[in-house]
Amino acid sequence: MKKRLSTPIREEEIKRLQVGDVVYLTGEIYTARDKAHQRIIEYESTDAEAEMPIPKGAVLYHCGPLMKKSNGNWEIIAAGPTTSSRMDATTPAIIEKLRIRAIIGKGGMGDGTRAALQRYGCVYFAMTGGAAVLAANHIKSVKAVYWEDLGMAEAVWHLIVEDFGPLVVSMDTSGKSLYEEITEKAQIRLNAMLHLS
């Protein structure tokens, strides 16, 4: 089912989403990769929430965008998703601390993250890899950039998006995972082809 959502996304809206739903997102999202995740964890341990650029209930985008500054403004060149599993170790704690409502990335995430999604009311959206220019076309502007000392790809970019997608709900708040379902179906077919079942 296709859905259009606007940020901030309410928890009840997130809980209505199911694996396989296709979503187009309008509003504000924040990029975060490996180094940003680590810094968030450091802030968590020092409880310096006042300095945290990502608000509670935000949407995180696993992305290291390519940007160009032109006439004092940032121009988005490419902004495709990065492999989410790289952030698996830190994601559950970040979901808990910031009550993240949605994560956009590619390739899915592990069981620890899936448990955090279920416990705190968050979903994982898969975006097609290799679609960096398409993604950039739906980013309307850069509202701010934080932690530039981490470098362009690792900084936190506060982005304004419109009809950003298609995003496929691949892990939902009930604990379902599209990746697990596909793996199970593939195994059944493989067993049938090899006459193992």
- The pLDDT of residue 68: 93
Instruction: State the Cα–Cα distance between residues 182 and 40, nearest whole angstrom.
Output: 33
Q: What angle do CA 54, 77, 22 make, to 5 degrees?
A: 65
pLDDT at 196: 64
What pLDDT does residue 44 have? 58
Per-10-residue mean pLDDT of the chain, 197 residues long, equals: 93 95 98 95 63 91 94 91 94 95 95 96 91 86 95 96 96 89 65 68
Choose, from 37, 138, 158, 195, the residue flagged as catalytic.
Answer: 37
Residue 15, pLDDT score: 96
| Secondary structure (3-state) at 104 | strand
CATH number of the domain at 2-193, please? 3.20.130.10
pLDDT number for residue 130: 77
| Whether residue 37 lies in the annotated active site | yes
